[in-house]
Amino acid sequence: MNKVVTYSPAYTLVPTYECFNRCSYCNFRVDIGKDIWLTISAAKNKLKNLPSTQIAEILVLSGEVHPASSRRASWFERIYQLCELALSMDFLPHTNVGPLSWQEMKQLKQVNVSLGLMLEQLNPKFLTTVHRQAPSKKPELRLQQLEWAGKLKIPFTTGLLLGIGETKADRQETLEAIANIHRKWGNIQEVILQPHSVGSRQQLNAPSFTPHLLVETIAQARAILPDSIAIQIPPNLVTPQFFWDCLAAGATDLGGISPKDEVNPDYPHPTKDYLEKILEPAGWQLKPRLPVYQQYYSWLSPALQSAVKAKAKALKCF
């Protein structure tokens, strides 16, 4: 029997690239006032050209507006409306827009099948290096999001950013924190292990994460995280010769495969056909999944459960 690796057929909507953080490794953000926000009509035009029978996830991915900004309310309203739009067009929203208030998370639970936020690394030393100009990257703030998601029964995706100056002990601390939250609330459905990959727009003068260390980190994560948490690697950021070693070490998911990786625009996503071509001869079966894992369906509202079951049937995600 073939071994299975999953992926989410996805498309990304970006409400705005503006962000009040300035992480030194970022290839996504633009300065405040330098971007025109995505309108609902423009988003509708993008979505109506997508094959709803082939796309499961609409990833709503945004730069962050400061919680005290006068534009915060309109930014959040735009995100909520984009999720509503995606649902009305038979897609399943998954939102990752930075730390949210309790009330914002509670509201987004109504129109999302899952939420996400990278924990990145817990060691506060990064607030003096790569996150020196990134107030929302405070570890306690991001850890609180995982806790709140658990209390609100929100299926959650988080992850580590690798290669920003952390040690193996730092990675262990972050993985153990995720594992502890999951044991308490059971809400972490997947953990992304994202290797820093040098981009053309970043300020950070550091090399890409060493490939053999990714294999080592996957094995480390698999030993620490509960078995029910999937380990995700982005196939566009994995050196081809190490791809099989990553799967053998415990990676089980390839994340959202979409036309463009907005976070790493210099690294195009491989196509589904390409992945099947390389996986199947090696005994691996590539299977689509939804942005919410089956064990969490009962956490969703009746309306979202109906949408999930319809999409699962359409994409044969069982």
Sorted by where each starts, the structural domains of the chain and their CATH numbers stand as 3-315 (3.20.20.70)
pLDDT of amino acid 224: 98
Residue 249: both structure tokens together:
């070490």
pLDDT of amino acid 202: 97
pLDDT of amino acid 102: 98
pLDDT of amino acid 1: 55
pLDDT of amino acid 315: 93
Beta pairing class for 114-116 and 188-195: unpaired
pLDDT of amino acid 240: 86
Q: What is the mean pLDDT of each run of 10 residues along the chain (318 residues)?
A: 90 98 98 97 97 94 98 98 98 98 98 98 98 98 98 98 98 98 98 98 96 97 98 95 94 96 96 94 95 98 98 88
Q: pTM to 2 decimals? A: 0.97
pLDDT of amino acid 190: 98
Residue whose token pair is 């994995």: 238
